């Protein structure tokens, strides 16, 4: 006896037969969130959710009556079950009211959808550096958490954003509110991590048996200065210090605003190899409404021009702008129909991919303390059609999977906040080819 939602998913699998079955559950989990129920925790240690930048939850911490925020795993691996799922890594977004929940069984944990078993679930092992501390007492896991099943070190060195308030903050983003809720919950959450703290945490991490392959340097935007430095100088100093201490050990990536070439060269000279100038949403009207700070301080046209110009610094394949998949359907400003939303975003993908740039995406999860507030996410159909368009546009322009995300392909991908890597062909690790244009 199939529940209504599982029946809907099975119908969708027939309709979108070219997509791997794993992504139907992955995208649905990312948009709806996961309930931990009263499942308890597995025996032994596992990697807990670090809140590495945003909350990515459908519920604020104050409403988590079973302290789910303290026991949630960072990610889960789906595997097996009646659908024979290949190993699929999914970021955990908490929602006690989700139709998806974890349940402890005699064989470990299972994922249930409205009481029907979907598959087995594994929790990520706790990284060896997570129990260690810096000399100042801070936890190495707070300073240098890892995600993507250990592939990526996520260095949010500035946990706030200088776009503040409803007329500046990106309307879907809860970076500032998440900082406040973590502090209100009494959790250690460093506003600005010092270069010394980052280096010490990485020393600890590097002294362990670690599978990490890349690091991301990121945080909120800097509109004036931070600790006396411009945004480029502030973030590039971390890359310079990391690359000096650990030359070439990891692929260095930076998520910062769209900057002029001379600023970007500071990152390139410091050792950053991949640049993520996130444009968030393609539609011009929605960019102004959803990203009012970026619209006012930089402007959409300049943002797009700078993305294209960045090819001269990093090489086209290493300029990888993110957009928030589904945000173009958010109330009250978004498109009403999936057709219109896909048409718009497909135009953006064609624009970038025809010029050698491979965007990527993060599946939108409505965060209740963001300006957009708690609301319905984009329909699952939107996400499935987007994955088709992404895969087909990549193929049309003969682009390789973007570097710095680990392997592509269902059963191999580790990127956990979208299925875009799961739908690309099975691949060995893509290489970082910065030599193609970077001088
Ligand atoms: S620039 Fe926008 S998305 Fe980025 S941290 Fe600031 S408010 Fe959030």
Q: pLDDT by residue (tens digit) across 146-178?
A: 999 999 999 999 999 999 999 999 999 999 999
Same domain membership, residue 149 and residue 95: no
From ligand 1's centre to the CA of 164, what distance in Å?
9
Q: Whose CA is nearest to atom 4 of ligand 1?
A: 220
How confident is the model at residue 107, as a pLDDT?
Answer: 86
Mean pLDDT of 208-230: 97
CB neighbourhood size of 426 (10 A)? 12
Mutate to test the pocket of ligand 1, among 53, 163, 290, 292 (most ligand atoms within 8 A of CB): 163
Binning pLDDT at 50, 70 and 90, where does residue 428 land? low
The confidence score (pLDDT) of residue 432 equals 58
Task: Identify the domain boundary among 122, 142, 168.
Answer: 122
Give the structural domain span for 53.
4-122
Residue nearest to atom 5 of ligand 1 (CA): 220
Q: Which of 64, 89, 122 is the last residue of a domain?
A: 122
If asked whether residues 91 and 147 sit together in one domain, one would say: no
Q: What is the pLDDT of residues 243-275, one digit of tens each?
A: 999 999 999 999 999 999 999 999 999 999 999
* 61 alpha carbon – ligand 1 mean position (Å): 20
Reported confidence tier of residue 434, pLDDT bands at 50, 70, 90: very low
**Segment 335-362, tens digit of pLDDT:** 999 999 999 999 999 999 999 999 999 9
List, in sequence order, the alpha helices (H) in 362-417.
Answer: 380-396
Q: Is 117 found in the same domain as 138?
A: no
The pLDDT of residue 437: 33
Same-domain pairing of 102 and 150 = no
Contact of 358 with 404, CB cutoff 8 Å: no
- Confidence grade of residue 37 (pLDDT, cut at 50, 70, 90): confident
Protein residue closest via CA to atom 8 of ligand 1: 173
Query: What spacing in Å lies between the alpha carbon of 196 and ligand 1's midpoint?
Result: 25
Whether the predicted pLDDT of 36 surpasses 90 = yes
Could you identify the atom of ligand 1 that is nearest to the CA of residue 169?
Answer: 7
**Which residues lie with the beta carbon below 6 Å from any ligand 1 atom?**
161, 163, 169-170, 173, 175, 220-221
Assess whether 32 and 153 both reside in one domain: no
Q: What angle do CA 405, 407, 410 make, to 5 degrees?
A: 115
Indicate which CATH number applies to the domain containing 232. Answer: 3.20.20.70
**Looking at residue 3, what is its pLDDT?**
85
Question: Contacts for 132-141 with beta carbons within 8 Å, 24 or more apart?
Answer: 132/204, 134/197, 134/200, 134/201, 134/204, 135/200, 136/197, 138/188, 138/190, 138/197, 139/188, 140/201, 140/204, 140/205, 141/50
Say if residue 118 is in the same domain as residue 138: no
- What predicted TM-score, i.e. pTM, was given to this entire model? 0.96
Contact 176, 221 (CB under 8 A): no
Q: State the closest ligand 1 atom to the C-alpha of 168, by its place in the atom list counted from 1.
A: 7
Count each helix (H run) and each strand (E run) in the chain, helices first.
14, 12
Task: State residue 1's pLDDT score.
Answer: 56
Q: How far is the CA of 434 from the centre of ligand 1 (A)?
A: 27
25, 85 in Cβ contact below 8 A? Answer: yes
On the question of pLDDT at 373 being above 50, the answer is yes
Q: Does one domain contain both 115 and 168?
A: no
- Gap between the Cα atoms of 87 and 95, Å rounded: 23
- Same domain, yes or no: 313 and 411: yes
What's the pLDDT score for residue 2? 72
Which tens digits make up the pLDDT trace of 181-199?
Answer: 999 999 999 999 999 999 9
Residue 232 predicted with pLDDT over 70:
yes
pLDDT digits (tens, 9 = 90+) for 282-318: 999 999 999 999 999 999 999 999 999 999 999 999 9
Verify that 158 and 88 share a domain, yes or no. no
Ligand 1 atom nearest residue 294's Cα: 1
Whether residues 110 and 134 share a domain: the answer is: no
Domains: count for the chain: 2
**Share above pLDDT 90 across residues of the chain, in percent, rounded to a whole number:** 93
* Percent of the chain topping pLDDT 70: 97
Residue 33 is encoded by which pair of tokens?
């969130």
Residues 133 and 272 placed together within one structural domain of the fold = yes
Residue 293 bridge partners (DSSP): none
* 155 & 93 share domain: no
Closest atom of ligand 1 to CA, residue 162: 6
pLDDT band at 431 (very low <50, low <70, confident <90, very high): low
* pLDDT of 25 above 70: yes
């Amino acid at each position: 006896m199939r529940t209504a939602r599982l029946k809907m998913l099975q119908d969708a699998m027939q309709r979108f037969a070219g997509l791997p079955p794993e992504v139907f559950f992955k995208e649905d989990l990312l948009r709806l969130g996961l309930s931990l129920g009263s499942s308890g925790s597995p025996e032994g240690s596992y990697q807990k959710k670090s809140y590495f930048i945003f909350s990515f939850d459908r519920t604020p911490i104050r409403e988590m009556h079973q302290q789910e925020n303290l026991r949630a795993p960072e990610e889960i691996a789906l595997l097996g079950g009646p659908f024979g799922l290949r190993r699929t890594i999914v970021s955990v977004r908490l929602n006690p009211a989700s139709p998806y929940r974890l349940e402890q069984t005699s064989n470990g944990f299972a994922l249930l959808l409205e009481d029907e078993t979907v598959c087995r679930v594994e929790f990520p092992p706790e990284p060896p550096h997570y129990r260690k501390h810096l000399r100042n007492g801070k936890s190495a896991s707070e300073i240098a958490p890892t995600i993507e099943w250990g592939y990526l070190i996520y260095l949010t060195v500035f946990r706030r954003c200088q776009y503040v308030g409803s007329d500046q903050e990106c309307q879907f983003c809860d970076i500032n509110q998440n900082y406040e809720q973590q502090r209100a919950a009494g959790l250690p959450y460093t506003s600005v991590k010092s270069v010394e703290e980052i280096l010490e945490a990485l020393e600890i991490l590097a002294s362990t048996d670690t599978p990490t392959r890349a690091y991301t340097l990121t945080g909120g935007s800097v509109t004036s200065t931070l600790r006396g430095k411009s945004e480029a100088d502030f973030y590039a100093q971390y890359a310079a210090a990391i690359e000096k201490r650990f030359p070439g050990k990891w692929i260095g990536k930076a998520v910062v605003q769209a900057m002029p070439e001379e600023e970007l060269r500071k990152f390139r000279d410091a050792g950053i190899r991949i640049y993520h100038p996130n444009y968030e949403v393609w539609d011009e009207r929605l960019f102004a409404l959803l990203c009012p700070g970026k619209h006012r301080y930089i402007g959409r046209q300049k943002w797009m021009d700078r993305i294209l110009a960045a090819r001269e610094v990093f090489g086209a394949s290493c300029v990888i702008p993110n957009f928030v998949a589904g945000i173009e359907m958010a109330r009250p400003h978004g498109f009403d129909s999936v057709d219109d939303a896909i048409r718009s975003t497909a135009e953006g993908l064609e624009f970038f991919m025809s010029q050698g740039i491979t965007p990527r995406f993060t599946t939108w999860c409505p965060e209740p303390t963001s300006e957009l507030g708690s609301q319905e996410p984009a329909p699952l159909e939107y996400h499935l059609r987007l994955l088709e368009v992404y895969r087909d546009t990549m193929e049309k322009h003969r682009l390789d999977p973007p570097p710095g995300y680990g392997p592509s392909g269902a059963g191999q991908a580790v990127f956990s906040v979208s299925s875009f890597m799961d739908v690309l062909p099975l691949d060995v690790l893509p290489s970082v080819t910065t030599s193609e244009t970077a001088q």
